[in-house]
């Protein structure tokens, strides 16, 4: 049997459609700006070692210089074979600094899993311009790598796989599961159920909130005690209404906070020592809860996307006062209920920040998010397949015209948000919170994928 679901909605959902100007439901969106031509096209080629730079020069049949890192590629060499070489830059007289531990400026990452994420840059990088498709294809054939016009950066040669990626972070602590209830909001994805599968592998308990028409599909593959049947269906207003209902359910359990997640998260990761490695239990959720609970003024927190964090760049363990999306830890007494048919996560974050409160986005812990329309179900069929991205971007602009705007980028309409006005929002520590001096989560790297 499904879990008890006789919980009424405590709020009337505001989809914000009637308050948004310029929506194009059933119509074509505004025409985009003049499309950018494919060529000339530029590509960054990152080189790991000096010896690889020499190989790259011979492959291109030209001399390349570290201090002249930009050049136009042509398929016909203008250099004699004996001059096909890499010319390194002159050595700097400045003393090179060693790797430094990168933490929050206020050293707040105490009593948390170790975080050491420093810059690990390439030996050298070249910016190559291609004036036409013929030259671009000729280059791809030379380096034996698949390239598309959307490709902005590559490594030469292709980086070898990091053996650590075959391992998992596993906690040796006694209690690793989150203390707050976990909810997945899902629709029409009983066949894929990405987030559900990820949490099952990790042994993390959860509820999955679904609409009545999907019960048979989900109950065949998920324990019925985990299924919450929503008291509505096919309303066309996005996931916010279901998220509000899960919020009500969490309050009925007496919880202080709750997790709410999209249903297309493939895995969860820990970033440390320049590697994004999967986590095999709930320790990262428990650690995030403990960290957020140190402060008075963090109603919303969550994990950054894995694809937004490059493993060889330096990052702090967390970032304050930016948007939180897809996997959120929400304080139940917070007044910032979900609203809006689109971009409800960005809207919620902005309302929190405009009231002078803080959000925490973790880089130490990451979520493996799939693209919104990469799999069927969810909101894909209800409106993303039928509409362009104009409507969702326009709604956010109307909600927050002081910081949000509609822009054309990557071949489609996007929203752009300025978070600079909120950088001064400061954390307020709770009184009497005991912060451990050592890491109590005891996360070890254990070989073998899970």
Q: Read off the pLDDT of residues 342-356 as tens digits, 9 standing for 90 and up.
A: 999 999 999 999 999
Sole residue written with tokens 């109590």: 440
- Domain identity same for 210 and 314: yes
Q: Is the pLDDT of residue 387 over 80?
A: no
- Domain identity same for 150 and 176: no
- Domain identity same for 144 and 254: no
State which of 160, 185, 210 marks the end of a domain: 160
State which of 112, 140, 160 marks the end of a domain: 160
Q: Is the pLDDT of residue 242 over 80?
A: yes
- How far the first Cα of the chain sits from its last, in Å, is 29
Q: Is the pLDDT of residue 226 over 50?
A: yes
Q: Is residue 335 part of a domain?
A: yes
Q: Is the pLDDT of residue 6 over 90?
A: no
Q: Is residue 327 part of a domain?
A: yes
Total domains in the chain come to: 2
pLDDT band at 431 (very low <50, low <70, confident <90, very high): very high
- Domain identity same for 230 and 263: yes
Q: Is residue 243 part of a domain?
A: yes
Tokens representing 205 are 């308990």
Average pLDDT over residues 91-95: 59
Q: Is residue 372 part of a domain?
A: yes
Average pLDDT over residues 416-444: 96
- Domain identity same for 198 and 266: yes
Residue 342, domain CATH? 3.90.550.10
- Domain identity same for 255 and 342: yes
- Domain identity same for 201 and 271: yes
- Domain identity same for 289 and 350: yes
For residue 157, say if its preceding peptide bond is cis, omega within 30 degrees of 0: yes
Q: Is residue 312 part of a domain?
A: yes
Q: Is residue 405 part of a domain?
A: no
Asked if 77 and 61 count as a contact pair (C-beta separation under 8 A), the reply is: yes
| Per-residue pLDDT tens digits for 122-161 | 999 999 999 999 999 999 999 999 999 999 999 999 998 8
Q: Is the pLDDT of residue 100 over 50?
A: no
Alpha-carbon dihedral 31, 406, 376, 215, rounded to 10 degrees: -130
Question: Tell me, what's the pLDDT at 102?
Answer: 40
Other CB atoms within 10 A of residue 363 CB? 18
Least trusted range by pLDDT, from 196-200, 264-268, 282-286, 388-392 = 388-392
Q: Is residue 368 part of a domain?
A: yes
- Domain identity same for 233 and 280: yes
Comparison of pLDDT for 160 and 283, the residue scoring more? 283
- Domain identity same for 304 and 197: yes
Q: Is residue 392 part of a domain?
A: no
Asked if 393 and 406 count as a contact pair (C-beta separation under 8 A), the reply is: yes
State which of 160, 190, 210 marks the end of a domain: 160
Tokens representing 346 are 């960005």
Angle ∠(352,354,358) on CA atoms, nearest 5:
45
Other CB atoms within 10 A of residue 261 CB? 28
Question: Tell me, what's the pLDDT at 119?
Answer: 93
- Domain identity same for 156 and 268: no
- Domain identity same for 340 and 193: yes
Quote the domain boundaries for residue 381. Answer: 165-386+419-447
Distance CA 200, CA 218 (A): 14
């Amino acid at each position: 049997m499904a879990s008890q679901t006789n919980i009424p909605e405590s709020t009337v959902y505001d989809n914000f459609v009637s308050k948004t100007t310029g929506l194009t439901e059933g119509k074509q969106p505004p025409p985009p700006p003049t499309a950018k031509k494919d060529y000339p096209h530029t590509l960054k080629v990152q080189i790991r070692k000096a010896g690889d730079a020499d190989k790259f020069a011979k492959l291109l049949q030209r001399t390349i210089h570290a201090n002249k890192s930009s050049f136009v590629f042509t398929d016909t060499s203008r250099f004699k074979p004996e001059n096909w070489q890499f010319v390194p830059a002159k050595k700097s007289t400045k003393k090179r600094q060693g790797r430094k531990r990168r933490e929050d400026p206020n050293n707040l990452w105490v009593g948390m899993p170790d975080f050491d994420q420093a810059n690990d840059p390439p030996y050298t990088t070249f910016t190559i311009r291609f004036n036409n498709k013929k030259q671009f294809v000729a280059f791809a054939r030379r380096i034996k790598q698949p390239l598309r016009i959307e490709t902005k950066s590559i490594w030469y040669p292709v980086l070898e796989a990091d053996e650590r990626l075959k391992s998992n972070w596993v906690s040796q602590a006694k209690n690793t599961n989150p203390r707050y209830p976990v909810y997945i909001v899902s629709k029409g994805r009983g066949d894929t159920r990405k987030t559900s599968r990820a949490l099952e592998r990790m042994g993390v308990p959860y509820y999955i909130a679904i609409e009545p028409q999907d019960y048979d599909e989900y109950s065949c593959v998920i324990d019925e005690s985990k299924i919450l049947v929503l008291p509505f269906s096919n309303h066309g207003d996005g996931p916010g209404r279901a998220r509000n209902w899960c919020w009500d359910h969490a309050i009925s359990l007496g919880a202080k906070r709750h997790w709410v997640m999209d249903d297309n998260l493939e895995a969860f990761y820990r970033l440390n020592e320049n590697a994004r490695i999967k986590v095999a239990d709930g320790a990262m959720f428990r650690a995030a809860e403990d960290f957020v609970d140190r402060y008075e003024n963090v109603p919303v927190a969550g994990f950054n996307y894995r694809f937004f964090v490059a493993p060889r760049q330096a990052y702090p363990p967390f970032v304050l006062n930016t948007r939180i999306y897809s996997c959120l830890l929400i304080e139940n007494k917070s007044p910032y209920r979900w609203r809006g048919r689109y971009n409800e996560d960005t809207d919620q974050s902005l309302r929190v920040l405009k009231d002078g409160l803080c959000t925490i986005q973790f880089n130490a812990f990451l979520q493996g998010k799939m693209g919104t329309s990469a799999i069927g179900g969810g909101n894909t069929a209800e409106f993303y397949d039928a509409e362009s991205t104009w409507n969702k971007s326009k709604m956010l602009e109307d909600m927050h015209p002081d910081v949000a705007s509609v822009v054309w980028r990557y071949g489609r309409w996007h929203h752009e948000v300025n978070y600079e006005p909120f950088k001064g929002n400061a954390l307020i520590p709770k009184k009497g919170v005991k912060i451990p001096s050592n890491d109590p989560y005891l996360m070890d790297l254990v070989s073998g994928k899970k």
